[in-house]
Structure 1
């Protein structure tokens, strides 16, 4: 991955932001100590990784993180200093996330945090990072609220629900699915993504003809299937948009197929996991999913990452390997461009409008900390495998990629 294309003026602005931040805090404040230590020219650059490590034992996320760190350090580190990762397990709970966040925030050697997975954990944790002057970059949390709280140290390297909703409406329109029935899990994530899809379907290309929810435990499926069949018979249904998370999402797909609903099913990047295939019991055939990465993406950046990963681990990377790898690389590029690892300086550089080189090409961040200039990739399940289809017509068939048995569900 090449160096970030970030301007010299961004570096100057970043150093000014650092000086103002230090002057505004007391000498014993953890944020002040962090900024001062980060600005030093020696010692490890410690990055915390907040994640539900025990609960999420599958997937290649850790491998992606580790590979990026080893590559950066082999090239001389960042500003001549090696990166060192420190893990914190949030247990997928709000309280666990706060405890991890406070531990990282209280440690002045920690210059940045990668995490968390779930939005309901990330949002309260982000408040702690902000108060502690600690930069946070999440490669997983998609709730729009995260970046709408006025924080200056909080970023995400994935699309939020509104962006996913817009791109999924485009996908439906491109494939002629004009009448779409929206199905969602009754959680903040499901409701948020469903609402985002409906909000984006405001033009004449796509019409949301119905909406139904199911419980997070997979309950309410009989009534949901009845709703869709009645709508199909009365108004017609060209496709079903599913805003859910496996394994329950797989049960929804199975129920729809058993109930005679044969319309195409498509959904967001939370469905991009082998758990969907397994929980659907063979009925996921033909389901379309969005993803942040696919190993058959022909773009040079994606193929370079795949080749390096396969050379190291002997297998193709999944989307979680890509998220972890890219997060480390983004932070390293921004620190180099800022000329400092101090969180305030790095945050100023990221918000300056410059671009970093990601595994799917260049992208940047807006003033809120949301990713811009990055596109989702899409895949379809054929023969129990995810096939890459880019973002265009999903009726074509391309190279088959076996579903890796260690994929993990996406964040929310």
Structure 2
């Protein structure tokens, strides 16, 4: 694959190397500074205490004031349903809700607090990959089962802990989906913009690897950190001088709308594809007039009520919260239900037994996916969905209509 020269393209492999070396030192530091005291006797004590506890104790860790705060609605709804139906093994489910504020430091403090409580069986949530990766070692060494519903960095659980699970797609899965559609649309040259953290870099690297397989060229690849106007202007000033068929953005709601507005204001009308982090309820409101034709990755379609379980969830969620559920609320709901079912099958809430039960699932029905897990705790058969903004509303795409719908909408935009 030929790549024209851009600041990030020239240094792609150096950036990867530095990034992974820094990550390795960070993880080693975390493992040595935190969690070591929880090995051995503490893990044995946890297995006994969780089994004997009068309640089933689950930690929920999430940035509670973030754009994705609907996650908590899914946790509340699932836990209420579980407790109203008699609990698990005759015990009530008790939730310890913690706000990590999207901060590594805060996330590690919370992990240490939970690790010190021998009655906590599992922890669920973990929105940001750059927080999830370093704290995962603490939960593992403390013997706590951990489920991330949102972090996509492929390096999660690189040390193959039997207690770590992921119920969402990885950056590789998401990149494959976007690249596949770009190839179907016949686009051969594109530009990439990504945020400089675990999520952005792992997504951009995975995406570029997929493009290489499809002989699609990267005209320019740019990263950003603060997401301010000056930073995005540097990118748009460069892109105005280049010819490309489409652009791909891996970033957050805190900078995404500004990026889209920046390139549209400069007259760059190329189609824009966004990763899953731009899949949030207020996306169209925040991007405004520039949202038309933007394509976003998702894992959940609330309008698809093809199964009785999904139909019931969507209906009851809307009745309770006044809005349709989104990906994060649905993933939270599924994670809590999966835990409850695994504990029920295990016959007790000891983390190793829960992990064994989770791995025994064969297409366990949820509202987002039918779940199975591989040896690394990765969910199999994740179904990724793409949606496009048309007339200030999202239109969900599938393999039968996606290329025609996108082409028609893009033609009208021109």
Q: TM-score by structure 1 length?
A: 0.82
Selected match of 2:42 from 24, 30, 34: 30
Deviation at 1:142, TM superposition (A): 1.3
Deviation at 1:186, TM superposition (A): 2.8
1:10 is aligned to none
2:51 is aligned to 39
Do 2:338 and 2:358's aligned partners in 1 also have CA atoms closer than 8 Å? no
Distance 2:103 2:225 in 1: 19
Please list the CA deviations of residues 312-357 of structure 1 after superposition, one character each: whole Å capped at 9, or x if unmatched. 3333112221121111011112222223221011112323463322
Please list the CA deviations of residues 216-272 of structure 1 after superposition, one character each: whole Å capped at 9, or x if unmatched. 33343233224333331xxxx221111111231111111111122111111111011
Distance 2:39 2:374 in 1: 31
Query: Does 1:245 find its partner at 2:252?
Result: yes
Selected match of 1:261 from 264, 268, 271: 268
Compared CA separation, residues 122 and 26, structure 1 to 2 (3 A): closer
1:344-355 equivalences in 2 (<5 Å)? 344-352=352-360, 354-355=362-363
Kindly tell me the number of residue pairs found equivalent between the two proteins.
Answer: 368
Compared CA separation, residues 169 and 302, structure 1 to 2 (3 A): farther
Do 2:314 and 2:325's aligned partners in 1 also have CA atoms closer than 8 Å? yes
Deviates more, 1:312-321 or 1:42-51: 312-321
Distance 2:94 2:129 in 1: 25
Q: Tell me, which stretches of 5 or more residues in structure 2 are unaligned?
A: 1-36, 407-414
Distance 2:354 2:255 in 1: 40
Distance 1:202 1:167 in 2: 14
Deviation at 1:391, TM superposition (A): 5.0
1:328 is aligned to 336
1:13 is aligned to none
1:17 is aligned to none
Query: Does 1:363 find its partner at 2:374?
Result: no
Deviation at 1:209, TM superposition (A): 3.2
2:85 is aligned to 75
Deviates more, 1:355-364 or 1:160-169: 355-364
1:201-216 equivalences in 2 (<5 Å)? 201-204=211-214, 206-216=216-226
Selected match of 2:238 from 215, 221, 227: 227
1:48 is aligned to 59
Distance 1:50 1:392 in 2: 38
Deviation at 1:311, TM superposition (A): 3.1
Do 1:68 and 1:328's aligned partners in 2 also have CA atoms closer than 8 Å? yes
Q: Which fold has the larger relative contact order, with Cα–Cα distance below 8 Å and residues 6 or more apart in sequence? A: 1
Selected match of 2:380 from 340, 347, 372: 372
Distance 1:390 1:31 in 2: 46
Distance 1:341 1:154 in 2: 15
CA RMSD of aligned residues (A): 2.5
1:309 is aligned to 317
Distance 1:268 1:99 in 2: 29
Q: Which has the higher helix share?
A: 2
Selected match of 1:277 from 276, 284, 301: 284
1:154-193 equivalences in 2 (<5 Å)? 154-193=164-203
Selected match of 1:119 from 110, 116, 129: 129
Distance 1:197 1:269 in 2: 13
Q: Determine helix, strand or coil for the equivalent of 1:102.
A: helix
Q: Determine helix, strand or coil for the equivalent of 1:39.
A: helix
1:95 is aligned to 105
Compared CA separation, residues 97 and 27, structure 1 to 2 (3 A): closer
Do 2:67 and 2:253's aligned partners in 1 also have CA atoms closer than 8 Å? no
Compared CA separation, residues 397 and 80, structure 1 to 2 (3 A): farther
Do 2:359 and 2:374's aligned partners in 1 also have CA atoms closer than 8 Å? yes
1:4 is aligned to none
Q: TM-score by structure 2 length?
A: 0.82
